[in-house]
Structure 1
């Protein structure tokens, strides 16, 4: 039973490795040569992580026998499990859609004037921006708009980025003094609190941490417009304008949609509609996993925010079901749960929730580092994932979608 997997992110790569591990033929459609470790983009964007540590060559992590078609998927036929790419047409017995998510640059001017952090190209753009700003600082040609850094979005990525910029600002103050002392970091959150899907205790703790480190946290505040020289906000006190030339956009994402996919496959939020086994509704030969679907827990009767660990877990369930189909066995329903989740606040500081318990400081940082290191090593040595599957899919990989 040949399976075509479209997308080589967390979900797609995990599905490929599991299917190939069961000796099923697999084709991966992914235009990139590398697997991006998206959570590391944040530290790299602030200069704390080297560029080479942000991705892993797919050739290193794909099992022997997997065909990697380095092409862009244009569309698919869910009924026949066929995929059209910009290189060739593919036909499989089963199809897995794992194309992930992209930045939802919803405010006027955001696509042109903000810095998202979703790809290596985004990272290169951010690093070039810092290089220009640092050059201006060295030449003492900075005005306040260059020294005010704005982050839109108070989910995991936004909070981690704010913390990384705290450390970057500290390094620049120590290095340059003078004008660098005027650096301001603003974190803008549309909702009433940071980390809205986390326990209130965790949200309150991280808010205090950021404020203690001179971050200006503005909740219940929407971004109405982004310009080359600033942002227009709407908060509890009314409209406000901030002069800035640095706006990072971490304020939400949306599922990627292929150019020529069939109509009526998605819900009103643009997620692919799936049955309990992660097959597209009315199309049992095609599965959807990762950020392409909105996880629903029937026991809790609510959806859960798409994130890295749920992407991996959905891939595990879909792969197990394809293997079961090949053997004529019963399928397994996907019941998403988030038992552990963590974020890093830079050097030996972090926040984690493990089995309902909030861990802060060094303990939280340790959980975040363990999750990152385990995933990094497990994708290169699947034996680790088989030895401790609950760690692989339940380590609290940082969210792909805020």
Structure 2
């Protein structure tokens, strides 16, 4: 942890008017910006994010199924940040000069910062498997949802015998997606869930794992464990399973089998772990870079944390406080994660949750999950708009 004297020395590196620059507008970046903007006498805040919309990823499954609308889970940054005291630059950071406290963007800008927050998140990991990038669909963006919705519509209209979709990866994303797909396809297409490991949801709570297994069975989703994807081709997969190599004919592949992390070019170089995540102190400062901070999926601390929105929510509050402490030359607080439970979407109108000492599954769990995420949507004004939309839909 940086001592007060060193922090005061670091604060003198850049002018006091230089903003806190936040790179990445996902959960970690956006919620840190909003939390910092609520502090009295906060510094100038600049959020750099190339996309025009924030995406509330945990509700992406409900967007696919039509249970929610795109404006509800993907509000525009200019609307979210209006009047909040946060400037937004639609650009991409390509290089960091930590010695001179500057970032360089894809459009050629060179911007000074007093403190820098890195919240660049993660991307889908193809693990170098041939054909994944070319012939599979992801499920992390609005464009991914639109492509998958078109594929679902085509399969339902065509309805040929033995149509098949393969979802690769039986973690939370793969399980939730497989359940939604099976409900949307209404029996017109076989859904295979392919997992390299021995079972689904290895990190999940036992109750949620049991509910997920039952949900997949009710929808006749075919779980293939101990099965590795060797290659993806147009219209098919090469698999290696317990019985050996197999060619599986499919009408589409959706890839959810892991994440990769790509840190930004920095001088001096930023320490990373073997997966490319940024090595952080308990205070969320980067190792050996006390005026640089990180949070969310890209940040790696000594004690591993789940790559979930819940972690980023909590880190954002801690980081906002620590940024104020850092600028004032005060001691920083370590981040302590509080596990509030676990929620999973398990098909249209169904969910499973564990938290607060109780477990629940089914339609009631779905409504609780929906309300819990409503409370986490960014900004009170957007929350009110979403509530108004839900109330207007209630009679239907």
**Which TM-score band applies after superposition, normalised by the shorter structure?**
0.7 to 0.9
Residue aligning to 1:121: 143
- After superposition, give the CA deviation of every residue in 1:166-192 in whole Å (9 maximum; x if it has no partner): 21122xx5xxxxxx3xx2111112222
Question: Counterparts of 2:212 and 2:365 in 1: how far apart (Å)?
Answer: 11
Q: Distance in 1 between matches of 2:381 and 2:70?
A: 22
* Partners of 1:296 and 1:335 within 8 A in 2: no
Q: Matched residues in 2 for 1:80 and 1:15: separation?
A: 23
Whether 2:164 is the aligned partner of 1:156: answer: no
Q: Which residue matches 1:85?
A: 105
Give distance in 2, aligned partners of 1:373 and 1:225: 40
Please tell me whether residue 187 in structure 1 is matched to residue 208 in structure 2: no
Aligned partner of 1:44 in structure 2 is 63
Q: Residues 20 and 370 (structure 1 numbering): CA distance in 2 closer, same or farther, change over 3 Å? A: same
Structure 1 residues 383 and 42, CA gap change in structure 2 (3 angstroms): closer
* Residues 135, 233 of structure 2: 8 Å contact kept: yes
Unpaired segments of 5 or more residues in structure 1? Answer: 174-179, 298-302, 385-402
**Aligned residue in 2 for 1:311:** 312
Secondary structure of 1:150 counterpart:
strand
Who is 1:252 aligned against?
A: 258
Partner Cα separation in structure 1 for residue 327 and residue 269 of structure 2: 29
2:182 aligns with one of 146, 157, 166: 166
Deviations 1:356-397 (A, max 9, x none): 643322343233212221112x5345999xxxxxxxxxxxxx
In the TM superposition, what whole-angstrom CA distance separates every residue of 1:254-285 from its partner, at most 9, and x where no partner exists? 22433667645211111001111111111100
Sort the Cα spacing of 1:167 and 1:105 in 2 relative to 1 into closer, same or farther, 3 A.
Answer: same
TM-score, normalised by the number of residues in structure 2: 0.84
CA contact (8 A) 2:170 2:194 kept: yes
Q: Kindly tell me: are residues 47 and 239 of structure 1, through their superposed partners in 2, closer, same or farther at Cα, counting changes over 3 Å?
A: farther
Which of 207, 211, 215 is the equivalent residue of 1:209? 215
Paired residues in the alignment total 362
Among residues 4, 7, 12, which one is paired with 2:29 in the alignment? Answer: 12
Cα distance in 1 for residues equivalent to 2:65 and 2:268: 40
Correspondent of 1:279 among 285, 290, 294 = 285
3-state SS in 1 of match to 2:300: coil
| Structure 2 residue runs without a partner (length 5+) | 1-15, 385-396
- Partner secondary structure for residue 272 of structure 2: coil
| Superposition CA RMSD, Å | 2.3
Q: Secondary structure of the residue that 1:193 maps to in structure 2?
A: coil
CA contact (8 A) 2:171 2:201 kept: yes
In the alignment, is the contact (CA less than 8 A) between 2:136 and 2:254 conserved in 1?
yes
